[in-house]
């Protein structure tokens, strides 16, 4: 597991502000927003979308934040315990690494 994940610079990405706001509003109403895409990623011609959790992790993959720091940041956004969210972060970081979305 990479300690300080860094986004692959070849990947083009864009956060969709309106969709993010809508997903945020769902969360605030206590609804499940995990199926709502809020960010697009274009990787080697293939487009992917990330939900809010994925997008918040992705934005923090700047080579500076450790996995624990990312989890702490997310805990604030999602009003959750850092330990609870750390497992999700680790899993997503491994997945990104496997897909080549992170710099070597």
Partner 1 sequence: MKPFVLSAPLIVNWTLSFRCNFACNHCYSRAEDASAELSTAQIKSIMDTLAARKVSFINFGGGEPLLCSDLFELAGYASGLGFKVSMNTNGWLLDETRAALAKNAGFETVGVSIDSHRAEVHDGFRNMPGSFERAVNAVRQLRSNGVRVTMSSVICRINADEFVSLVDMAESLGVEQIFLHNYKCAGMGMTNRDELDLSPPEWREFYIKAMNLKAARSGIRISMDDPITATIKGGDAESPLVKGSTCGKLSLNIRANGDVTPCGFIPVPIGNLLRDDFDSIWRGSDVLGKLRNKEPKAKCLQCKHYADCLGGCSARAYAATGDFESPDPHCWFEPV
- Residue whose CB is less far from partner 1, 12 or 87: 12
Residue with tokens 């080697």: 44
| Least distance CB 55 / partner 1 (angstroms) | 12
Residue 14 CA from chain centroid, whole number: 12
What is the smallest separation between the CB atom of 49 and partner 1, expressed in angstroms? 5
The Cα–Cα gap between 74 and 72 comes to 5
Of the candidate spans 1-9, 29-37, 72-80, 87-95, the one that interacts with partner 1 by CB under 8 A turns out to be: 29-37
Q: Which residues bind partner 1 (CB under 8 A)?
A: 12, 14, 16-19, 35-37, 40, 42, 44-49, 51
């Amino acid at each position: 597991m990479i300690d300080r994940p860094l986004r692959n610079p070849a990947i083009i990405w864009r956060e969709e502000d309106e969709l993010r706001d809508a997903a945020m509003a769902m969360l605030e109403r206590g609804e499940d927003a995990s199926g709502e895409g809020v960010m697009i990623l274009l990787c080697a011609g293939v487009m992917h979308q990330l939900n809010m959790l994925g997008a918040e992790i992705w934005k923090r993959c700047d080579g500076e934040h450790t996995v624990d720091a990312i989890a702490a940041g997310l805990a604030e956004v999602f009003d959750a315990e850092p330990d609870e969210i750390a497992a999700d972060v680790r899993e997503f970081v491994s997945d990104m690494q496997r897909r080549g979305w992170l710099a070597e």
